[in-house]
Structure 1
């Protein structure tokens, strides 16, 4: 299988997992999708032949689980702070905070800014410590017509 086929397979797996995660809310679903696709893409770089396919599936499952955990752990304050980072933080500058209620820690760094369909978009990394366990999430968010930010992948 070629790299593109592995990414497609990972996307299908992640979307399927996102359907299972929907009761947890949009943050968990978005985290599941982003984590699954990235995990599958990373897994597709391991081994060859059927071993590569297995690595892609395992990577997608692990990535989806990590992304869902981060998305599930974010409350309204964390979502608002993340949107503030997307709106105002310079590319490459990390913004950190600790949620006073949950004690979860977040660090969001915009890594690239570009325009898509006339709207600003930001690729980003998020390092989170949820319940003492570190997780990393990578994604893209774009500003919507109403001014909110939406995770795109």
Structure 2
């Protein structure tokens, strides 16, 4: 029960931060929310009792920091390349590119394909980004929308 409460509070806080005063969240905010959720979920799987609580909080904070950094560097071209990787690459087949404007390097690898409870096609994926010489890795899940685009679901 305590874990669910802490998890709920973290999720609500992340969404409140994401909404802020803007109607449309920034790339950095979106990345931070997705990274924070993924980090919180990963942290909740570690340890027991108080140790699990700490791991969940640390996971959320680290995930938000990494996701925010990756999200802030991605422009529309990078998002399109990620969408294409999720649409066309086989599981385990990576695609890499370097953004000519930002010099950031990205590698996206779909890691699992499945249908969610709503019947949507979904894919787990890993994004590795090298931004200003720093390597960052983000794990996420996205589901195909009716218009054919992929929307992060964690």
Normalised-by-shorter TM-score class? 0.7 to 0.9
Runs of 5+ in structure 1 lacking a partner? none
Residues 48-127 of structure 1 mapped to structure 2, 5 A cutoff: 48-116=48-116, 117-127=118-128
- Any conservation in 2 of the 1:14–1:61 contact (CA below 8 Å)? no
Once residues 47 and 10 of structure 1 are traced to their aligned partners in structure 2, the CA distance between those partners, rounded to angstroms, is 18
Once residues 12 and 115 of structure 1 are traced to their aligned partners in structure 2, the CA distance between those partners, rounded to angstroms, is 26
Runs of 5+ in structure 2 lacking a partner? none
Judge which range, 109-118 or 61-70, deviates more: 109-118
Once residues 148 and 44 of structure 2 are traced to their aligned partners in structure 1, the CA distance between those partners, rounded to angstroms, is 36
CA RMSD of aligned residues (A): 2.7
SS of corresponding position for 2:112: strand
- Any conservation in 2 of the 1:30–1:151 contact (CA below 8 Å)? no
Give the CA deviation at 1:148.
1.8
SS of corresponding position for 2:142: strand
Aligned residues: 153
With normalisation by structure 2, the TM-score equals: 0.81
- Any conservation in 2 of the 1:14–1:60 contact (CA below 8 Å)? no
Give the CA deviation at 1:33.
2.0
